[in-house]
Amino acid sequence: MNAPEADLVAEGRVPASSDEAEKAAHTGSLARRMMVIAAGWILVLLLAGGFALDRALTDLVEDNFDEQLEYMLTAMVASGEIGPDGEVLFYRALGDQRFLEPNSGLYWQISGDGHEPWPSRSLWDRTLDLRADHIDNDVHFYDSDQFGAEPLRVVERTVILPDSDTRWTFAVASARGELDNQLARIRSILIWSFAVLGLGLFIMAALQSYYGLRPLRRIRMAIQRIRTTGTNRVTDPLPLEVQPLVEELNMLLDHSEKQADEARMHAGNLAHALKTPLTVLINAATAKDPDLSKLVHRETRTMQRQVEHHLARARAIGRRAAGLSRAAVWPSAESVLRAVTRLYENTRFDLAGNKVEVAIERQDLDEILGNLIENAAKYGGGSVFVTVDAEPDAKDCVIWVEDDGMGIPEQERTRIFDRGARLDTGKPGTGLGLAIVRDVAEIYGGTVELGESEDLGGLLVKLTLPRAI
């Protein structure tokens, strides 16, 4: 993709490549997920509740129907007596007029061994096919379809009347049409009621989803305003559940703004640092200075030091932005000591203290310790002590590096951190070691202080770094 196309993509006027489109792919709609879950639970709960309510109402209606049949059966048994010929007679008439109307849908019948069945007038020329293969001392209910298109609900009971040894079966039967119609009306009411309830709940869930996700749409609009109007914060009042997201977003914007400021400052410092050497070289070349080669050598060395210093800062800033950093101090110090020992074989190195992790990348920790320990060996008298001090509950880790050299006068301890500043020009170096140490440590929230070693008498460097969480 060339530069003009990249600019158009950045402005949104040209679609991005397929790889970029794949990175921007989403995992679905939150509103759709919430609606599907709500609809599923509403359906399950309504089905379960409707089934339970249907069974409860059905049992209630059927129990009420059975109670009426049982009441009629009890009245029959209470009115029955044995006549002169051993048959069953009623000493009082039954109260329901339907027993006297043919095919009225309400029937009774009395049967006994050795006796013809005695049916109600409503049976007309039919008889009930009672279950004579068992004895019902208690009331027994069952359904029967012996009349074909007229299903029956039958209740029967077997009793022995006074002055008789015969087991008489009293039965009352009623057509189920009325009962079935009542159950059909109840189920119809339930279906329509639950359908309206389900629709209402679904609409309520949709409104709840729309209203509940509204803050996310407001955040999207706020981010859009940041992109289009140049504002750098989300200041809209939002619910408590979304506020942590807004705070993290604002912190990310602060971080990005700080990085941009650091990058601009870093580029400005580098440009300013290179401007003077380049001006000297241009003027010398224009004037055809006879010492041009020496000037080129000196000024290019200066530019090299500046570039190395700014590259170290840029690497540290980039690694810090990559995520949560952590490095173990003890392995890093041992690795640096092994490398420096090969360069300064006559120097005695001691490492003591606690094993702890700090919030810094391992490469940057190696660079900091390498500069400090190498400077101590280079400018010391032959002894270098490294102490790692970290209290269990302390937030910071302090690393002490001391030597037995001449040290640094107190009035020079601030200037020595300047880029290119050196006190001992008799030994090779660029004067960037302590400057790099200070800049990299500050990038990670640490500090560097100089003092005088009480044990060795030379320079004492106190490096403070935040501990890893």
Q: Flag whether the pTM goes above 0.85.
A: no
Residue 34 burial class via C-beta count within 10 angstroms: exposed 0-12, middle 13-18, buried 19 and up: middle
pLDDT of residue 52: 93
Q: Enter the tokens of residue 252.
A: 């990310």
Position 161 pLDDT exceeds 80: yes
**What is the four-CA torsion angle of 237, 241, 246, 251, rounded to 10 degrees?**
130
Q: Residue 155 above 70 pLDDT?
A: yes
Whether the Cβ atoms of residue 352 and residue 400 lie closer than 8 Å to each other = no
Measured CA to CA in angstroms, residue 376 lies from 343, 348, 404, 405 at distances of: 12, 11, 8, 8
**pLDDT category, 177, cuts 50, 70, 90?**
confident
Model confidence at 173, in pLDDT bands (50, 70, 90)?
Answer: very high
Per the document, the length of the chain is: 469
Q: What is the pLDDT of residue 268?
A: 63
More confident residue, 306 or 349: 349
pLDDT tens track for 110-142: 888 878 888 888 888 888 887 655 666 788 888
CATH number of 324-466, picked from 3.30.565.10, 3.40.50.2000, 3.20.20.210, 3.30.70.890: 3.30.565.10
Binning pLDDT at 50, 70 and 90, where does residue 189 land?
very high
d(CA 264, CA 170): 106
CA distances from 216 to 263, 319, 390 (A): 32, 32, 44
Q: Where are the domains of the chain?
A: 79-177, 233-321, 324-466
Residue 320 confidence (pLDDT): 54
Of 301 and 339, more confident? 339
Task: For the chain, give the percent of residues with pLDDT over 70.
Answer: 83
Confidence band, pLDDT 50/70/90 cuts, at residue 310: low
Q: How does residue 350 score in pLDDT terms, banded at 50, 70 and 90? A: very high
Q: To 5 degrees, how large is the angle CA 341–CA 343–CA 345?
A: 55
What is the three-class DSSP state of 298?
A: helix
The mean pLDDT value of the chain amounts to: 80
Are 179 and 61 a contacting pair, CB within 8 Å? Answer: yes
Per-residue pLDDT tens for 69-117?
999 998 888 888 888 777 888 888 777 888 888 988 899 998 888 788 8
pLDDT winner (highest mean) among 277-281, 312-316, 427-431: 277-281
SS3 13: coil
> Does position 221 have pLDDT exceeding 50, yes or no?
yes
Q: Is the CB of residue 186 less than 8 Å from the CB of residue 61?
A: yes
